[in-house]
Amino acid sequence: MIKFDNVTITYPDMHAPVLERVTLELPEGELVLVVGRTGSGKSTLLSAINGLVPHFTGGTLTGSVTVDGRDTSVNPPRELADLVGVVMQDPMSGFVTETVEDELAYGMECLGLAPDVMRRRVEETLDLLGLAELRGRALRTLSGGQRQRVAIGAVLTSHPKVLVLDEPTSALDPGAAEEVLAALQRLVHDLGITVVMAEHRLERVVQYADRIVVVPGGGAPVIAGAPNDIMVQAPIAPPVVQLGRLAGWSPLPLSVRDARRAAGPLRDLLLGSAAPVRSAVVLGQLLAEVSDLTITYGTHVALEHVNLQVHRGEVITLMGRNGAGKSTLMSSLVGLRSPLGGRVQIQGRDPARLPAGQLLKSVGLVPQDPADLLEAATVAEECRAGDKDAHAEAGTTRALLALLAPEINDSTHPRDLSEGQRLVLALAIVLAARPPLLLLDEPTRGLDYPTKTRLVAILADLAAAGHAVVLATHDVELAAEVATRVVVLADGQIVADGSTAHVLSASPMFAPQVAKVLAPQQWLTVAEVAIALHEQAG
């Protein structure tokens, strides 16, 4: 179905190719998972399938990419629209109409299909993706998972043979992600559509993949194979695979179900050991206090009677479904949302009334879209501006960026960075001011495992040095790695607030993979298990 024949892609003003001598064949009716480091070229590979590279992005492509026999070098994206459907990371940015039904019909209108054909396909797609009850809903009122399914449906009505998705679950809560992945499985198994998707959160998707394509970057060859074969040697792997490697299981499990079947002896071995208790940190000064906070958007109540205290030394993760109120709570802590009732205080003062310079030194927020903080023409200029705004020593921001993402070049335009790279650049800018309270909204969206590991180490160091960190995240594995406390919101209210082990282990939705495999014992990470086994052996 899809064939890359000795493909090399080089962008303008870049000395080295992004992809080099890629030869690859992807057959019909498979779910293909594309993995690799942040900035390795995954999005470039996806964009080459429908001709966005090089027709839209520029640069040069040598070799050939063919889809169902059509050469993308002579067929621009508009000529491939009936064959290849593309769903990017942010569904809302691609919507062009107001309602679900109109969005599903729009692509067919562009192709000039007859009205009766359009009507039939809309009804079929509504049923296929479980959207029938949403047909008249305004797109802006949908949850993240619903928007993602509508975006998929909008390209499916054109009856493509190939569906390309870039990080389709990165902004979704675990439940919404399962909805989207279930829909994709139906497309592969029932309709024979070839689905090619890039995804960093392997713990969510690797069990569904028929084939994995590894894009290492740095000129290393792209490789492809069956998931079990790739996971045996892959440098990046989900926790359930890492646990299998640690325990010596063969074959390696790709799902929690497979791991639990093999985990009986390991659970018995760990009975005499205790997982570390991160909630036992000594709390320092009270930095932030939210008291009886209520915030509304028109008639919608985003937060209702919320109470929260944040102390130095804590790493708190805010979790909950899309739309639960996490981002609103974060925004209130920097004075961006005016409360209907209650109050917010940062070190005893209202953040909305703090001068900009004093606010920057008191609390720092990295928003969901890091591009909001980026204005300069190069990475180097952004770093210099970050130092100036933070009144920090020259080179501070650049040094922080080097710790998080050493592969980023000073001369690169921030808009040319991958989403994960833009996030770590924004994080370095905020960290340069060393605010006592650091707020991160979905900080691992677009981040690969090694970069996330470096982020976890930096956050742990900040907490140990007396800072407080609050993360709003759907990444349960991040919470398991770094949080000392977990707060769960639902419909604008706090429904759980406690130690990481207690809250995550008790939740079927938010439990990390290791907790599910080793339940009822409260282990959260592979590292905890490794330490316990080492201590037993020693």
Asked if 514 and 529 touch (Cβ cutoff 8 Å), the reply is yes
> CA-to-CA distance for 437 and 462, rounded, in angstroms?
10
Pairing, β 84-87 against β 162-166:
parallel
Element (H, E) at 293: strand 286-297
Supply the DSSP symbol for 414: G
Predicted pLDDT at 254: 95
Give CA–CA dist 528/199, Å, rounded: 26
DSSP 8-class letter at 291: E
Please tell me the predicted confidence (pLDDT) of residue 281.
66
Who's near 195: CB < 8 A, 6+ residues apart?
30, 31, 32, 162, 163, 165, 184, 187, 188
pLDDT at 278: 63
CA distances 268 to 104, 499, 518, 527, Å, are 52, 24, 10, 18
How high is the mean pLDDT in each 10-residue block of the chain (538 residues)? 94 85 94 89 92 88 94 90 85 88 92 92 89 90 82 89 89 83 90 93 92 89 92 87 94 94 94 72 88 91 95 95 89 92 94 88 87 88 92 92 88 82 89 92 83 87 93 94 95 94 90 94 93 85
- Predicted pLDDT of residue 240: 95
pLDDT of residue 279: 56
pLDDT at 381: 95
Say how far apart CA 213 and CA 293 lie, in whole Å.
47
The predicted structure's pLDDT at residue 317? 97
Per-residue confidence (pLDDT) for residue 121, from 0 to 100: 93
* Both structure tokens of 385: 């501006």
Residues near 129 by beta carbon (within 8 Å), at least 6 away in sequence: 149, 150, 152, 153, 156, 183
Would you state the pLDDT for residue 280? Answer: 58
Q: Which of 316, 344, 349, 369 is nearest to 483 (CA)?
A: 316
The three-state secondary structure class of 275 is: coil
d(CA 174, CA 204): 8
The confidence score (pLDDT) of residue 239 equals 94
| Domains observed in the chain | 2-235 (3.40.50.300), 237-272+521-538 (no CATH), 278-507 (3.40.50.300)
Q: Where are the beta strands (DSSP E) in 411-517?
A: 437-441, 468-472, 485-490, 493-499
Cα Rg of the chain, angstroms: 24
| pLDDT at site 143 | 73
Q: Quick count: other Cβ atoms within 10 Å of Cβ 138?
A: 11
pLDDT at 534: 87
| Contact predicate 484/500, CB 8 Å | yes
Residues 6+ apart with CB under 8 A from 218: 40
pTM of the predicted protein model: 0.87
Strand partners, 216: none
